[in-house]
Structure 1
Amino acid sequence: MLRIHFTPHDLQNIRILRKPDPLWELICSMCRLDTGQGPLEFGHWRRSVRARVEVDRVLGAALQPLRTLVPNIGYIPDFLTPPTTGGELSYALDLVRGTSRTRLVRELTRLGDSQVLPSWTVALGRPGDKGLAMLIRALDVYFGAALQPHWSRIRAVVGNDIDLRTRTLLDGGTQALLNDLYPLARWKPPVLEVDYPVRRDLRLEGRGLLLVPSFFCWRRATALADPALPPVLVYPVAKTPLDVARATGDGVGRLLGRTRAAILADVARRDGRTSSEVAEAVGIAPASVSYQMDVLRAGGLVESHRAGKYVLHSATALGLRLLDVR
């Protein structure tokens, strides 16, 4: 658990990044690329990137240093995600390029405590060393191949979350904004308790907190490891069932119809859904969900089972394949 301690001044200095941060999306996407996490949300994207790696030697070469510095689990050096305040990728890469040798050594030493690092990392940032330039190039190549083709959708999904958070802030103030982070975090004044893989305490001490919505962040929020850096909390944005259904291609919608495609996408994304939960997520009447669920079940796309007083619905293997999820 990450416990973020607020002062009264910090509550007056909570900000929301107004667009996706290119390096946070890049780093989070790297963590999704080599795992099976989020099969519905990221499965199609993941397969498309892997397919491109097989034929694009430049992209394959770029992934090698990135996989060294961005493990799927554990510590990731903070210098890879400088405080860009939503700037363009070129500006963010300039900040990475300007990282001091002292900081590089400190953070790479910490990374080296959990894995064996290749020799090029030892000289990173030394005068005349080309390793940092190679890393910048790798970040740029990967972003252009894996994220740039999808950037308009990423911006749209993140923008929807920003609009929602902004309305919450305007209607209810900072307390409502922090409460609305549930279930990712629980606001217990003056502490925000965040679901986190290790136990940490972060004291804001008047610096405020920047909330960074992220498309590729998954399941739980993340933060910078160094408490001395400007505090940020990166959290996953919600992908609505209709957004997810559209992401799998128009063919599913044409085959099943928009409503059934949305229902199938919702139960595939959240295993074990009740009819009332599906109705609320998709925006239709519970009676309509029951009828549509019968059709999907008869087609072998959904299965249902009773758990106590509830009937829970899940997507079958056929349903997942139809949504292009593996």
Structure 2
Amino acid sequence: MPEDLSRTHVVSTSDPLWETLLSLQLSHSGDGRLVFGGWRRQVRSRTCRSVEAVLLPLSPPRGPSADLLTPAASTLGLEAGLEAVRATPLRLIRQDLHQLAAHHRLPAWTSLLADGEPRLLAVVAGALRAWHQAAVAPYQDHIDRRLDADRALRLRDARLGGPERVLAGLPPPLSWRPPTLVSRYPVDRDIHLDGRGLLLVPSFFCWRNPVTLIDAALPPVLVYPIEHDLEWLAHPDRPGARGERALAALLGGTRAAVLDTVGRGPVTTTGIAKQVHISAPSASEHASILRDAGLITTRRLGNTVLHSLSRAGAVLLDGARHD
């Protein structure tokens, strides 16, 4: 519908609760290791299991997440979003829990949430705040710069060709096939805008696939991934950053990532490929070069080949991490 195009726009600021939810999922899914491996290690050292125990049943690493965690008011800021979480209507809570229960077993305390226990909404809001402070807030300046860069591209497209050009310019796996925006998605689903338009939300912690709400009756939202700098954590004031950059310069970024992967424990060639997000032949080639340089060793156990750090590789990697 023409009014859908005219009402489609990109959110003007970072959405703190979408970043909180998606960073939680990303920290547990293991995806994006090359981009987020360093961030994940930092976050795991400062987060609390009790916070995760509250949030993960509502936002598991795979599958749908509760809409109550990402209210529309979050575009007005973290405090506005948390206030909206605490005021979530009982109908939406029950609908969310019903959807989640179809995918995984929910803990017993969620039955109290479904019964309308207001204290539990306050607990959920407190857990969101705690996770945001640990996983998002320390990196907010960089997140904002990357999101601003993406929004600048969308604004340029809007000036040059209006909403259709904005939709056509969205990153893969999104594809504009007028009058339909098509994407890869974990489940087969159609969302009809019916004149309501679409809010586009670029997200730093969204990885590979875009995300939307469970409830099709809510205002349509599409959260999509942005491009990342592979060395976004390599700042001079971060311990080990200088050594990591030197190692990448010496070996090349991908080969350094392969060495770091092997350094976390014996790993197969297939495991290297999955963790570094490269093909199996490429992983085999990098492992061969590192083995020839004396930085890793390789042994065969039956049909499995395992790569491990050599003494020289351990010294080199340890020096880079602690420089």
Coarse TM-score class (shorter-chain normalised): 0.7 to 0.9
Residue 180 of structure 1 corresponds to 169
Change (3 A) 1:166 1:144: same
Tell me how far 1:68 sits from its aligned partner: 1.3
| C-alpha contact (below 8 Å) 1:123/1:129 kept by paired residues | no
Percent of aligned pairs with the same residue? Answer: 37
Work out the CA distance in 1 between the residues paired with 2:168 and 2:91: 39
**Is 1:189 matched up with 2:178?**
yes
Residue 202 of structure 1 corresponds to 191
Residue 253 of structure 1 corresponds to 245
Residue 109 of structure 1 corresponds to 98
RMSD in angstroms over aligned alpha carbons?
3.4
Counterpart mapping for 1:215-294 below 5 A = 215-241=204-230, 243=232, 249-254=241-246, 271=278
Residue 214 of structure 1 corresponds to 203
**Is 1:46 matched up with 2:40?**
yes
| C-alpha contact (below 8 Å) 1:220/1:235 kept by paired residues | yes
- Give the length in aligned residue pairs: 277
Work out the CA distance in 2 between the residues paired with 1:186 and 1:157: 22
Change (3 A) 1:21 1:167: same
| C-alpha contact (below 8 Å) 1:125/1:131 kept by paired residues | no
Work out the CA distance in 2 between the residues paired with 1:182 and 1:147: 23
Tell me how far 1:216 sits from its aligned partner: 0.6
Residue 281 of structure 1 corresponds to none
| C-alpha contact (below 8 Å) 2:17/2:69 kept by paired residues | yes
Change (3 A) 1:34 1:85: closer
**Aligned counterpart for 2:2 among listed residues 5, 8, 11:** 8
**Is 1:154 matched up with 2:161?**
no
For residues 136-178 of structure 1, give each alpha carbon's deviation from its aligned partner in whole angstroms, at most 9, with x where no partner exists. 1111111112221111111111111111221122123222211
Q: Which amino acid aligns with 1:251?
A: G
Report the TM-score, using the length of structure 1 for normalisation.
Answer: 0.74
Tell me how far 1:261 sits from its aligned partner: 5.7
Report the TM-score, using the length of structure 2 for normalisation.
Answer: 0.75
Q: Which moved more, 1:116-125 or 1:142-151?
A: 116-125
Change (3 A) 1:263 1:88: farther
Say which structure, 1 or 2, has more relative contact order (CA 8 Å, 6+ apart): 1
Q: Which amino acid aligns with 1:122?
A: S
Residue 93 of structure 1 corresponds to 82
Residue 14 of structure 2 corresponds to 20
Counterpart mapping for 1:298-309 below 5 A = none
Q: Which amino acid aligns with 1:271?
A: I
| C-alpha contact (below 8 Å) 2:146/2:204 kept by paired residues | yes
Change (3 A) 1:199 1:41: same
Q: Which amino acid aligns with 1:223?
A: T
| C-alpha contact (below 8 Å) 2:198/2:222 kept by paired residues | yes
DSSP 3-state at the match of 1:93: helix
Tell me how far 1:182 sits from its aligned partner: 4.2
Tell me how far 1:238 sits from its aligned partner: 0.3
DSSP 3-state at the match of 1:52: coil
| C-alpha contact (below 8 Å) 1:186/1:194 kept by paired residues | yes
Work out the CA distance in 2 between the residues paired with 1:186 and 1:211: 14
DSSP 3-state at the match of 2:45: helix
Residue 288 of structure 1 corresponds to none
Q: Which moved more, 1:138-147 or 1:205-214?
A: 138-147
Change (3 A) 1:190 1:93: same
For residues 49-104 of structure 1, give each alpha carbon's deviation from its aligned partner in whole angstroms, at most 9, with x where no partner exists. 22224xxxxx2211111111111111211111111262221110100111111221
Q: Which amino acid aligns with 2:14?
A: P
